Amino acid sequence: MAWNGWGGWQRGWGGGRGKGGSKKGGGNKPFWRQFVDPSDDPEVIKWCRTRIQQFLDSGETTQEVEWLSTTYRNTIRSMASEMGASWLKVSKGVYTLARPQNQGSRSLAQLRSELVAAVKQFCVDSGGRCKPNWARNSLPTDLWVSANAELKLKNLSNLPQVAPEEWRRAGMCAAQSGRMFYLAGAESDVYDDAFFAQFNAVHLQNACGSLEAGLRKLPRHIRRPSEMQGLDFLQQAYEDMGPDGLAKEKRNPGYQSMLPARQRLPAFQMAQAICQGVRASQVTLVLGATGCGKSTQVPQSILEDCAERGEPCRVVATQPRRISAMSVADRVASERGGKLGDTVAYKIRFEDTVTSSTQVVFCTVGILLKVMQLNPGLQGATHIIVDEVHERDLHTDFLLTLLRRVLNQRADLKVILMSATVDPSAFQGYFEGIQTVSIPGKTNYPIQELFLEDLLPQLPRRSREAWRDARSQQWSKASAFAVGPLEGVPQGADAVRAALPHVAEDVVWDIATVHEELAQSIDYDLTAALVQAIHDSGEDGGILIFMPGWFEITQTMERLQSCRCRQQLAIHPLHSRIPTWEQRAIFRPAQAGKRKVVVSTVLAETSITVEDIVYVIDPGRARTTFFNETSMISALRTVWYSKANGFQRRGRAGRCQPGVWYRLFSSCQWEAMEEYALPELQRSPLEELCMEVASLNLGPPASFLQEAISPPKEEVVSHALKLLHGLGAVTDLTGETLTPLGTALAKIQVHPMLAKMLLLAVPFRCFHMMITICASLGYKSPFLCPMGLEREANQAKANLAQESKSDLIALVNAYQGWKRGRASFARQNFLSNETMDYIDRLREDLLAATREVLRNVPEDHTDPTVLADSCKAVLTAGLYPNVAFIRRRGKGHTIQGLPVVVHPGSVNSKEQWTQVAFYDIQETTDRFMYDTTVVGLAPLLLFAPVLKEVHRGVRVVFELPAETSPTHVAVDVKVADALLALRDLVATFVDRSVGATPTPAMLGMALELSQLFAEKVDTLGGDDEEGEDSARGEGSTRNAWNGEEEAEAEVEVEVEVLDAWDSDEVPEPCAKSSKR
């Protein structure tokens, strides 16, 4: 029996099966539980040793043992070796205990000589080269068992070190990495970790000839795109209301009915001081606590002040999010006594209520930036209000940098910055002559603030005991990228007791435990207990619960379903992936007998007001994107938020009656938090921003961005410019001037990488497929993963992918099915109907932008195989260098050598021995790749910007350069020169065709290239450390490595990866629904 780790013993090993023994081993199917490492449990070690000794005493030569997990195989193998037995794998999950038959009949020297001789013979038979695990699989069982037991040889790659003299006398050599054996005098190849691609020489020559002839017919430069037609909304005529119009509006019954509520707001009471500040200076900073009414009252105060003076007025007020722009505009329109489209309107992507009567426009920051591409001086606007500047998001900081330049050109323009929690000194030093207006007073009603040490004693005793029991049973594996406990908080009960002398002893121990928590540790049980306690109190009012992301929202909602009061709760999630109409449900009053509970991300933190919220439950965490300057990838992590975020959340309570702010952390943790969050400009990738700087002719992006209020790091800007230069979007690494291709890319409102894919898809006749992909990647994934239906959701996605091995082709199939079946298809296939509808509108938007660049677009290939191969080739070209080489179980490394894992929600999560192109990497619980597609080496070698030849022999080895750990790809020497020639022709073809209206010659060349993209990806594995994957198809593999041509081969890929990866399985979560 073996200890199962949960308080009892279970059958660990079966009876085994010796010679002539029962196959079932007495009917007991043996297995091993993974809960306890044998090296940590003396009882398990004792049992294992006893079991091995029983085998040795039995006299049997071999005995099979089934072992369902390989987690402890190294420990067991070492134990068997120490006791004079061998531990060999026969097939998956089945191992063999074996003893040498001739033990003691030959010396160790003889054993070494026999072993080396056998390996040499196999190497001769293999053409002078072989891999260690191939040679090991060819050895007689008895010889390997003896070597394993007597020489302690666990891996044949160590043979040169175990038998150095015999190895030298036999004339054998080993590559430096130990992954290849070869005969002395045979070609030495230090690049035995290279991937191998076998091309058909005839196809290569045909493609070279076709492109060479076709390029003579193509113009040398692509047609420059036409300018976007039409005027922005600021240059449309509008009607000033003037004094008479204002007086008429004030007599409106709707205006009068809303006036008493407005008059109670501190911002309304400060209207005169605010307007005086705006008139006195070009830039005004308005500071006011959350809930003081600045978002709704400041625009109206400016409007009324200008109307009374008879001055022109058109106010543009930016909000950081769509829902904020819509909800604030709707509120202000109601307060004016009218409807949207009268004096007040909003403009967001795909929704526009602006008319000729509109004088106050609420929009997102992104919309205003797009307007500035056509109207850099913001002609037609008199006042620009930038709300929530404390968030310091990427686009807001970019807008502030632009506005500072515009103010030098337009003395009549007024800029008003507004926030509840911003550090005024940063803006006072940035804008010359800035006026600061502080709005006294806070919210309508007082707010009680409770820390963890305050609220725990208020919980019923039973709830506290249940919470402690739940905490004692919680265990979660910490992410390698997890943010640790807050620095500077007291650790241990003694330190907590000294810091919080007023706290009861039992609470001291609770606080000490909480102080050790990582940022990712969310206490769902305490949240649920608090909701139950609030409901039991009998007090009215809604509850707002903040959570970092969608996963935490779903976990919270699931835990709330276990509360006794669940039937009286009306629970609403609020997340960017939620359809807009469903988001608006949070503003509707709860039904009679129900208490509204909103579980939200930072969406509810700013600019939206849910009137009946009284209680705010705040865990003190946020989900934030960081840009890793070392690996140059984004990292989406759960972090401790800043105090500024906390005060924003505080302001969500107490709008209709006294409120309560429950902080699920201690006062010590609060004191250790940062005052303000790091600006997004200093923690985000900057490719799109650099592209926008170049398109607006603002000078070198590096110089312009140094003018920002918080400049980014130089290496991040440099990385962005390298990527744009690699795409062919800028003329040089300064990034100041766009190429004709870059000008075309700038007109398509997606990431430049996606824009290039879209244009490259035109000659390869997969444009309509690619536009769906780009629309989704530019927005978010439509795939849903409902709680409890994760397996079904993943299976639905796999069904949509069919045999494509591509998340993105699954998306295309999903879109095509949705166009036919709409909502019913979405329900059946776990798709968000709202997201699909938005993607559909984005497709039309991208199509219109593309038509500004191209006169016509050909239809996609009708052959689905050619279409899929062409699509994958375009993805490889467009996403480069986002390519990873996968070894096993979805684990591998990128071209730059970065260890990565295919996200478990991908259709390729179990792929091995292949390569994938991916759109995004996020460091969450692991370094996951999203939106992956299995691709061939042919397009990779043809489209890679740089391919460096590093070795020429029987094979030619090319290097895909990287800052660290370059990747090597080998090809047959007979096709290497043709491949290099074709690369030059392909580069010219791409330069002249991308962004140009397609011609028959262009389409013919692309079709010829498509012959090389029809791929066959071998699933042969690389060397396993233990040599356990024996079924490898050795003949074809050896032929590939020896450079022998195989008839009818088009593109074959042999994958050998040098790195050894952790064998822990990736868990089986649901598909990722929201990417960023």
Q: Please report which residue ranges of 651-766 form alpha helices under DSSP H.
A: 667-672, 687-695, 701-705, 714-727, 740-747, 752-760
Domain total in the chain: 6
Angle between helices 752-760 and 740-747 (to 10 degrees): 100
Residue 386 is assigned to a structural domain of this protein: yes
710 and 775 in one domain?
no
| pLDDT score for 831 | 92
969 and 842 in one domain?
yes
Residue 224 is assigned to a structural domain of this protein: no
Q: Which range, 419-433, 566-580, 656-670, 737-751, is most confident?
A: 656-670
461 and 353 in one domain?
no
In this structure, of 229-238, 841-850, 1026-1035, the range with the lowest mean pLDDT score is: 1026-1035
> In the structure, what pLDDT confidence band is assigned to residue 267 with cuts at 50, 70 and 90?
very high
| pLDDT score for 105 | 58
Query: What's the rounded mean pLDDT across residues 602-616?
Result: 83
Q: Bridge partners of 419?
A: 287
Residue 175 is assigned to a structural domain of this protein: yes
How far is the C-alpha of 61 from the C-alpha of 38, rounded, in Å? Answer: 25
Q: Which range, 398-412, 505-519, 649-663, 727-741, is most confident?
A: 398-412
> In the structure, what pLDDT confidence band is assigned to residue 467 with cuts at 50, 70 and 90?
low
> In the structure, what pLDDT confidence band is assigned to residue 75 with cuts at 50, 70 and 90?
low
Q: Which range, 350-359, 395-404, 959-968, 1052-1061, is most confident?
A: 395-404
| Whether 935 contacts 883, CB under 8 Å | yes
841 and 990 in one domain?
yes
| pLDDT score for 142 | 74
Kindly write down the DSSP assignment for every residue of 257-303, as one continuous string: HHHHHHHTSHHHHTHHHHHHHHHH-SEEEEEE-TTSSHHHHHHHHHH
The residue out of 399, 418, 439 marking a domain boundary is: 439
Is 786 a residue whose pLDDT tops 80?
no
The residue out of 72, 98, 124 marking a domain boundary is: 98
Q: Bridge partners of 991?
A: none
| pLDDT score for 386 | 97
What's the whole-number average pLDDT of the chain?
80
645 and 697 in one domain?
no
Query: What's the rounded mean pLDDT across residues 715-733?
Result: 90
Hey, how many other C-beta atoms are within 10 angstroms of the C-beta on 491?
A: 12
| pLDDT score for 71 | 43
| pLDDT score for 544 | 95
- Alpha-carbon 188 to chain mean position: 41
| pLDDT score for 350 | 80
Kindly write down the DSSP assignment for every residue of 863-900, as one continuous string: SHHHHHHHHHHHHHHHHTT-EEEEEETTEEEETT--EE
Is 892 a residue whose pLDDT tops 70?
yes
Which is it for strands 351-352 and 344-348: parallel, antiparallel or unpaired? antiparallel
The Cα angle at residue 1000 between residues 997 and 1006, in degrees rounded to 5: 85
| Whether 526 contacts 664, CB under 8 Å | yes
How is residue 243 written in tokens?
């004094």
| pLDDT score for 191 | 64
| pLDDT score for 233 | 77
Residue 792 is assigned to a structural domain of this protein: yes
Query: What's the rounded mean pLDDT across residues 773-791?
Result: 85
Place of tokens 């030569």: 61
Q: Is the peptide bond before 998 cis (omega within 30 degrees of 0)?
A: no
- The parent domain of residue 48 ranges over 2-98
| pLDDT score for 689 | 94
Q: Which range, 105-119, 227-241, 533-547, is most confident?
A: 533-547
| pLDDT score for 840 | 93
Q: 192 burial class (0-12, 13-18, 19+ CB within 10 angstroms)?
A: buried
| pLDDT score for 963 | 63
| pLDDT score for 204 | 87
Please give the share of the chain, as a percent, with pLDDT higher than 90: 35
Angle between helices 752-760 and 687-695 (to 10 degrees): 80
Query: What's the rounded mean pLDDT across residues 593-601?
Result: 92
> In the structure, what pLDDT confidence band is assigned to residue 579 with cuts at 50, 70 and 90?
low
67 and 115 in one domain?
no
| Whether 361 contacts 314, CB under 8 Å | yes
723 and 664 in one domain?
no
520 and 667 in one domain?
yes
CATH number at residue 169: 1.10.10
Residue 218 is assigned to a structural domain of this protein: no
CATH number at residue 303: 3.40.50.300
Q: Classify 1063 in phi/psi space as left (phi over 0), alpha (psi -120 to 50) or beta.
A: alpha
| pLDDT score for 446 | 85
Residue 1076 is assigned to a structural domain of this protein: no
Q: For 918-976, how does the pLDDT look when each residue is reduced to its tens digit (9 = 90+)?
A: 988 887 778 899 999 999 888 999 998 888 888 887 788 888 877 666 788 888 888 89
| pLDDT score for 89 | 52
In this structure, of 106-110, 193-197, 336-340, 1045-1049, the range with the lowest mean pLDDT score is: 1045-1049
| pLDDT score for 227 | 41
Residue 771 is assigned to a structural domain of this protein: yes
| pLDDT score for 66 | 59
Is 137 a residue whose pLDDT tops 60?
yes
| Whether 178 contacts 135, CB under 8 Å | no
145 and 78 in one domain?
no
Q: For 272-294, how does the pLDDT look when each residue is reduced to its tens digit (9 = 90+)?
A: 999 999 999 999 999 988 778 89
Which is it for strands 315-319 and 62-66: parallel, antiparallel or unpaired? unpaired
Q: For 825-864, how does the pLDDT look when each residue is reduced to its tens digit (9 = 90+)?
A: 999 999 988 889 989 988 988 888 888 777 778 899 888 8
621 and 656 in one domain?
yes
82 and 136 in one domain?
no
In this structure, of 559-563, 578-582, 653-657, the range with the lowest mean pLDDT score is: 578-582
Is 669 a residue whose pLDDT tops 90?
yes
Residue 767 is assigned to a structural domain of this protein: yes
For residue 462, the SS3 value is: helix
Nearest to 519 by CA among 629, 676, 673, 682: 673
| Whether 769 contacts 1049, CB under 8 Å | no
Nearest to 148 by CA among 215, 103, 213: 103
184 and 310 in one domain?
no
